[in-house]
Amino acid sequence: MAPFKEGCQIRLGEAAQAGFKACLTDDIRTALLTKLGKSASAGDTAPAICNSRFETLLDLTKFGSYSKSAAINRVVLRNTLVESVKAAGRVTFQKKLDRYRMIFDGGNERVQLLFTDGSTDTCDILVGADGSRSTINQQVGVRNIVDIHSHMMFLNKGDLTQQVIKNLSARLQSGPVIAITKDMLFYFALYLPPLRGQSSQENGGAQYDLDQGSFYYYYSYTAVPLGVPDLQQLTIQENRAL
Residue 5: HSE in the Cβ half-sphere, 13 Å Cα cutoff: 10
Residue 67 lies in a domain: yes
Residue 104 lies in a domain: yes
In this structure, the answer to whether residues 75 and 136 fall within a common structural domain is: no
Task: Check residue 207 and give its pLDDT.
Answer: 72
**0.75 exceeded by pTM:** no
In this structure, the answer to whether residues 96 and 126 fall within a common structural domain is: yes
Buried b (16+ CB within 10 A) or exposed e, 107-116: eeeeeebeee
User: How many structural domains comprise the chain?
Assistant: 2
The domain in which residue 101 lies consists of 92-140
In this structure, the answer to whether residues 73 and 179 fall within a common structural domain is: yes
3-class SS letters over 86-137: HHCCCCCCCCCEEEEEEEEECCEEEEEEEECCCCEEEECCCCCCCCCCCHHH
Of 214, 217, 197, the C-alpha closest to 161 is 214
Helices (H), the chain: 14-23, 26-33, 74-87, 135-140, 162-167, 170-173, 231-241
Domain of 153, CATH number, reads: 3.30.9.30
Q: How far apart are CA 106 and CA 110, in angstroms?
A: 10
Q: How far apart are CA 141 and CA 159, in angstroms?
A: 39
Taking only the tens place, the pLDDT of each residue in 155-190 is 888 888 888 888 888 888 888 999 988 888 999 988
Residue 4 lies in a domain: no
Asked if residues 160 and 190 have their Cβ atoms less than 8 Å apart, the reply is: yes
Residue 203 lies in a domain: yes
Mean pLDDT per 10-residue segment, the chain (242 residues):
56 89 91 77 79 89 86 87 89 91 91 95 90 83 77 84 84 87 88 66 58 85 56 44 40
